[in-house]
Chains A and B, each alone.
Chain A
Amino acid sequence: MPLSDQEKHNSKAMETASQVTALVNQARAGSKSAFEQLVDLFHEDIFRMVYYRTRARMDAEDITQEIFLNAFKSLSKLKKVEQFRIWLFKIGLNRIRDFYRKKRVRSIFGAYSDDDNIDQSDTTNNDQPEALNNLMKHEFWKHIGLLLEKLSRMEREVFLLRFMDHLNIREISQVLKSSESSVKTHLYRALQKFRKESELINLLKEEVTSQ
């Protein structure tokens, strides 16, 4: 029986856990190359995590750069080296919060429009399979956006961290500095709302049958 994404992720996480701890210790002792290896290990995860919340590639790239720079500069403040990944997510969520704060200020002064930065790449491609793919992509993000709009801030964050970033309940509670029972409650409420998103669920069904 093939492993699910979650299972693959868990086994990968277990394999890399000790490697990560060793690299973090080396980086804390002053090794830049050890930190660069940590960047290689987590760059994709962190970039995706930011992209899910900004839906703009360039912004996601800039924020990802900031996250790693921040982590590099404040590595000595990390108390539990084994929680490096969780710590990156914490920094990430704070940077994303800052990004939206600045964006709100800029939009008040008319210097920023919400449509300016949403990823429009590839939408002008007329190649048929590519165009279909882009249409699916557009539909998927549109419906995810509609779902997330219906969730409270905490429900949204818990849902994203659990099903898109593949963190477990304990990890989510650490990232959000919240109790596990609170995380579960918000996740449950988010799932109740997800269940009602019939269009999104149909889209997932299509995708399941087409793959």
Chain B
Amino acid sequence: MSPAGARGRLDVNIKQKSFRAASGGKLHVLGELVFSLRSGELAALVGPSGCGKTTLLRIVAGLDRDFDGHVAIPAHGTLAMVFQEPRLLPWRTVEQNVRLAAPRASDAGLEMLFQTLGLEAHRDHYPGELSLGLARRVALARAFAVKPDLLLLDEPFVSLDDALAARLREELAELVNRRPVTTLLVTHNVEEAIGLADRLLLLSIGPARIVADVAVARPRAAHTPAELAALRHEIARRLNQPFSRENL
């Protein structure tokens, strides 16, 4: 593999992760979780609520070091994350929030980013003045502005209206096509996962394990109904245990 390829590689090798519950006992959240992403690969983590997706992202981001196993993220690489909630600095404007996280972003680059995300009119607003949907877009802008080598997205498109979510998915697809970035995308939405990812990692609940690793044949291209049906069928076949079917 080329050096550039090796640089963006993500290796996750988690033996197990548990939390000490406040009441005493131990909560075994992640089981054995082993997977790798090639440089520039976008994998969607799909799993039921509470199965440990955020916990996994926090471990990958280096925010939680209390687990068995190890994780190798792209060396010297920059990292960006869209948390499950926006996590903006309430005392800084939209533009300052983005610039503080991405001090090297160019004016022109930010201009374009704000335009595509429909944030032009809100650059000087404080987060307290934004709707949740707008705040989520700022969090996305912040993550994209960094031009990261590893991008972690924790359900970035929830609580946006359908049209906007669709536009932002297209935007993400385009950004990734233009400049491939190793990405872990957490989502509940299988449709979204199929539309964006190179690979789907389906997680089981308690403790989380990968129950299926499904490749998407032509990632980020329009899929025909027949292809979609085949993919769904494949997912259903690979799931060897009960799994939320409402999205399948």
User: Do A and B come from the same complex?
Assistant: no
Chain A residues with a Cβ under 8 A of chain B: none
- Which B residues form the contact surface with A (CB < 8 A)? none
